[in-house]
Structure formats: C-alpha cells, structure tokens
Structure 1
Amino acid sequence: MRITMVGSGYVGLVSGACLADFGHTVTCVDSDSGKIEALNAGAIPIYEPGLDQLVADNARAGRLTFTTRLPAAVAAADVVFIAVGTPSRRGDGHADLTFVHAAAQEIARHIEGFTVVAIKSTVPVGTGDSVEQIMREANPSADAVVVSNPEFLREGAAIEDFKRPDRIVVGLEDERARDVMTEVYRPLYLNHSPLMFTGRRTAELIKYAGNSFLAMKITFINEMADLCERTGANVQDVARGIGLDNRIGAKFLNAGPGYGGSCFPKDTLALARIGHDHGAPQRLVETTLSVNENRKRAMAEKIIAAMGGAVGGKTIGILGLTFKPNTDDMREAPSLVIIEALQAAGARIRAFDPAGMDMARQQVEGITYAEDAYDVARGSDAVALVTEWNEFRGLDLALLRSLMAGNTLIDLRNVYRRKEAEAAGLRYFSIGRP
C-alpha cells in the first residue's frame, strides 16, 4: 500500500519505518526541513535502539522516503496517518490540537480519490469528529474517511511494540475503512496480533485510559513502598506477591522515583481535564497526578535525609537523567525535580547518562557532566542511582566507593542488594525495603 506519515517525530518515524519494513511504500512528511535533510542523510533525530538500521535498510530498499512536500505525498496515498505532536496546552492541561487541525486542513486540500486518514496522535475524545468537519470544510469534494488508530509504543522498545503488539485498535464510523486498515496491518497476522475495531470515540478513549491505568499502577506501588519503609516490609516482595495474581499482573509494579516521559504525564492530565469537561471527574487519575509530583520531590528529600539532613556544600553524583533507560527523553523526568531540589539545598551535582546529557544541557544549569558512572563517583559525597540503565546494574561497587569522597549510595531503582553495597564499604539506601 501507499502510505503517507504526516509528522516525522518519535511516533511518526518509528511507525513509518516499521510499516515500510512490512513492505508498504511509506513517505514521511515533516515541515521541519532540517529534520528531513538529516533523515535523508541517514541521521536519526531521536534515540531509539535499532531505529537507525531499520530506517537505513528501508530507505536503501526504496520503501521509505522523507520529504517536506505534503501535497504530492498525500495525493499519492491510500492511507494518510496524522502523527503530529499533541503537547499539554499551556494554562489548562488539555491536549493542544493545533498541529492536528492544521495537518487535517492541509491534507484535505490535496486528497485525490478515496483515502483513509488515520489519527495516530494521542487526542481527546471527539477529535475525529472535529478533524472530519475541518476536512469537509477545507475540501467538500474530498472522498476521505477519518479513523482513530492510537499508538501504544514504549520508548526504548518501540520497534518491538509496533511489530509484536498486544493489540491494534482502530476506531471507525465508516465501514469502508475496515478493509483498508486490515490490509495495512495484515503482515502482523503472523504474530497473532488482534485487530480490534471499535467506534472512533471509543478508540480515542482507550489510549488515555490505558496510559492512565498504568500510571496509577506505578503510583500505587510507590505509595506501597512508603508504607513498606515504615513497617519493615519489602516492596519488591509485595510487588511480586500481588503481581503473580493474573488479575493484576507484574508489569509497572517497580517502585521508584515516579513516572515521567512524553505520554503518562500529559495523558493523565488530559484525561483528568476531559472528565471535568464532561461532568465525570476522574478522581483516581487526579490523585495519581498529585501523588506522582509529590513523589519526585520526596526523592530529593530522601537523598538529603541520607546525608544527615543537609547537603549544603556537598557533591551529589546522579546516575541517570532520562525518565527511563534506552531513550534520550528528558520530558518530565524525575531527575529534573530531584536535581533542582538538591541544588536549592546547596548541593553541587555531577551527573552521567548514556543518552540524555545533550537534552539535559538544554534544561538544567549548574551541573558538571561526567564521562561515565565512575567519573560521577569521583569526589562525590554521595551517589544516587536515578535511572536504571543496564550499564549501571553491574558496577564495581568497591571501585565506586574508592573514588568517592563520601560513602553513601542512594538506590532509587532497587538495582542493588544491601549486603553487596555494605560489603563494598557503602552506606546503602533503597526504596521500600527494610
């Protein structure tokens, strides 16, 4: 099939490359000429394991191209995906649909023949209706059908998620789109990936509901970790004990410094606003938002407490800056709040992240950036493990201790065991464990 992807950011680029790998002919469009020039030169603007090779292979095969010229790309397409950003709108937290609406208007002007327009951007309930109306006004003669096709990609595992999804959700109001979208995802039938057709508004809500539920699971286990610390229980055993119940499941039950990233913070906030607007308050989601923000600040307080209640003039080493491993994404990362609070308390910060330091430099000032984990430890009074990158999981703790000015390790991801840390001469603090 001939597919055009409008928007070549994280979702658009990963989705476009994977669809091309299925054998479709894909054109990725973006208004950012610098980004398109970089992609045509083989440079990938985001960090996602395996994406550079996937893009290179399909570009070389002629199945994947990049352009700023939307009219020709849309005119030639059987399916046009909208994969532009929907950031939180400043002031009220609603999803900002400016880019979605602009894309819809431009797409409508250049459609030729029957075309399915699939919204892959995360959008509030009813957006498909407004996009349909915008397109109808822009080009009354356009033979287009609008569907909702939300993405469920985890940063750091996006290619695997796209190629082996738990489900593919397509929301439609016009049955003509069913066969077209079935053909788009036909290569996934070999993986037994269920293609779930729903109403368009239902599909739009599924995306928000899924992300908000996972955010609540993270927030729940973090509160359990606080209770474990006060009662002498072990949160990892609690998580395993409840996660083995197949009604609950083990995923997203790892205690830590709170969730961040591009999806959970903005999607939970948007769902709370949607509920408020429709007179159906989402109290659990609203509480999740509040607890998660408090959680990040509490982690800074935990580090300060481990240092005897004061960090003025002390050097604190930070291992990991991104909100999770295998990404360079710093959006809403817990490290940002933690570092800001530590600096406000008078601490000096040394930090290292395998992929996120360039992004961090744009958001945080006054940090000394190190070359690796051991360089972080050099001269630090304490080291805090904030993001559980694989290269932080097997550190030589004795070497780490020998490089430090102090001897305190605060493990906010429960990567290590107390006995091994203490055997290396470290004072060890973790999350939700006695």
Structure 2
Amino acid sequence: MSLITDIKNYKYVGMPFHAVGFPQPVYSHLVGSNDGVNWTDLKAYNFGWRDTSLAYINGEFWTCTGTYVNHTKDFETFTQVQCPNMGLKNLWASEFYQDNNGNWWFIYCGSETDVDYSEFKLYASRFYPDRYQIDAVRHDITLNASGGYIDPNINYINGYYYLWCSKTSTPTQELHLFKSSNILGPYDEVETNIMSLTNSTGYTWNEAPEMLVVNGKYYLYSDPWNKGENESDRDVYRAESDDLVTWTNMERCNADVTMRHYTPLYIGDIKFEEDSTPSTPNTPVTPPSNDKPTTPDEPDKPTTDLSIINLWDGDINSFYPTNRNNYVVVNNFITEWNNSDNSFLEPLTFKLNATNYSEVNRLAYRQFINNAKILLEQIPKMVDDYRVTDYDYTCIPPTLPTGIDFNQLEVNNFWKWVRDNFSWIKGQVDQVG
C-alpha cells in the first residue's frame, strides 16, 4: 500500500518535527489522525524541517518551512520551489493561505536584524501555485498592538480575517488573536482566555498557534512550554471553542513521536485526484515567468524574456534530490537564453551533464565536478561579456571538493555562487534589453 493511500484513511495530516537539539538536529515526521488528538506516525524523514506548514493545492500537497518550499503528490519525493528571502535576515514559520478572493499568499514572520524578538514583524507575499512562484515583494501585516510577533496563522470566518500569533516581547511568550476585514490589516485584538488555559496546565510560555475550523467548531493547536525546558520534552496541545473567545479542553496530543510546531491540515473533505503519479525531484518544475504585481491589486507586468534563475538555495538537507535539478535548471536557462529575441545575447554553447544517478556515488561525484568545472570556466566569461554597469562587481570562484566525497558546505557555496552570478548577469542584460 502506498503512503498516499495510507493518508486517505485519515481526516487530518501534519508534518511535526521531533527536536533532539536546538536549533538542530531535528527530524521530520508525517503523521495522520482521525480525531485531531491521537496521531499515527506514517513516515520518518532524516531531513530537519522545523515548523512545517501543509496545504493541498491543485492536486498536490505543498510544504513550507521558512524559505524552504516544496510540493509533492506522494510524500516520498519533494520538488523544491525557489523562495526569495524577502530582504530579511530571519524568515520563520511560513504558511500558505488562500484569501476570500481566491488569491494565494505566503504568510510569515521575520526581522532585518539578528534574532531580536522585539524586532520581529508579520508579513505576506503573493503566491502563485500555478506558476510555482512566490513573489519577492513583502507586504506588512499591520497590528494595532506593540511588540514583536511571530508564528502567524490566518482564517477567514463570517466576513473577517482572524489572525493568531505569538507575542515575544513580554516576560512570558503569549498567544494572541486579532481580527480585521482586510487580510493585511490593520488587525484589532480579540480578548480570549487561551493563556489562562495554558497556565492551568502548568506551562507559562506558548507559541506556534494553528487554528482549524472543522464542521463549525474551532480547534487551536499550540506549543505550551516553560522557558529553559528541553525541546525534546515538549509536545503539541489542542484547545476547542464554539465562539473563538472562550476556549476549553487544553489537551495534549498523543503520537508515536514527540511533536513540535506544525500545521495540522484537515483533509476529511478533500476529493483527491485519481492521478497519483509522484512528483519527482528528477523532473524540475517549469521555470516561472518573471511576472509579478507591484501591489496586490495591480495586474501582472512582464519585465523580461529570461526566466528566473530557479536554482537550489543551498539547504544541506536537500542535497541529494536537488543537486541534479540544478543541472537541468541551468540547461533550461541556456536554452531560453539562446531562443531569446534579445540581439544583445551571444549564443551559449555549453551544456551540463544531467544524467540521473539514483544515489550519491563516484559517478555522481564526477558528474558534479565536471559540471562545476564548466561553470567555473564559463560564468566569469559571461560576467566580463555582459558587464554594462557595476564595474566593482567581482566574480570570485568558490572552493570545490578535492576528494571522492560530497563536501556539502562546499557544494552549497558553489551553487550559491552560480545562482548569484547568473542573477547578476541577468540583471545586466535587463538594463539593455
């Protein structure tokens, strides 16, 4: 029986993480439940996704944790989607949300400085699942309240958007509910009794609120804990309400593993597509067009004929499936470059070897080294050939592994170098195109 067949036997699904240390290592799990309280461990993963959110969109499951975004049809293989850092130094607890007008949003919290919780704010960016694209423009989510807030979660109920989040700039960490007629706010606070319930369980801190609306009833999941408590000893709790104000039954969720911050997804009403062909990391998504609105209400305005450089962002936990994807992305970019009507562009004559190896072995290592040598030779030439401004820009090659070993840090640095230089070259071309 396939994993997706197992999932269809449950009404709820989620991807919590089991923390062994902070911030790493953590281990992700796929869990299912029929009552939202008792959860069965369906699959363990050796990657460390914290605070994973789930959504079911266009026949696929989407996952996001920070800027790490994927989609899958089977929870066996995941295809990554490029996500901008939105100009933030920290971007946490991201979620997908579809507003009352059918628009999809990427909701998150973040700060432009180091981890100073008082500086954290809530943001939203447009999300285009049909194009596998997240807009780089961030919009403030405005609260009529002071302090730093993290972990946003939004629901639309009876004409209003209800926003749960965690307040971090208090002696304790607290859950707060806000209400607005606009998804971006301003939001006014709704008084609830949720923190008194948390305190009654013996916990004084609380974070990661996630609310589900099922059959007219409200269920709030969160992580109650005490400051200084080991992460591996914490678990998720659930409260219930009929009116969003008075909450009862702060009960601990049971699972085969310790669970932390995740977005439970109610799938009891989903009619799954019959086509369960798995999405595979060996077939990358079609590169999205670089069309994006400058504000939520403006129409799309194309800016260039060249596609976004949708390269891997260097997450060491996703090396195996996405390393080859980058070869294909580069080849697709070369093809689009050569097919462009821009007379400024000279044809590119190189290609990368994108042969599919099932596991990291000597052949896969040699493939990476050979591809890397091609790019190390060609990219500096392209930088020189297409420099029209920014004469201080330097193209400094990264260090490559020297032994028969995938040094993940060096591989990460290499792909970051490729992406940054291609993006710079594309920016130069845009100025004369």
Check whether TM > 0.5.
Answer: no
Structure with the higher fraction of residues in helix conformation: 1
> TM-score normalised to the size of structure 1?
0.29
Larger relative strand fraction: 2
TM-score normalized by the length of structure 2: 0.29
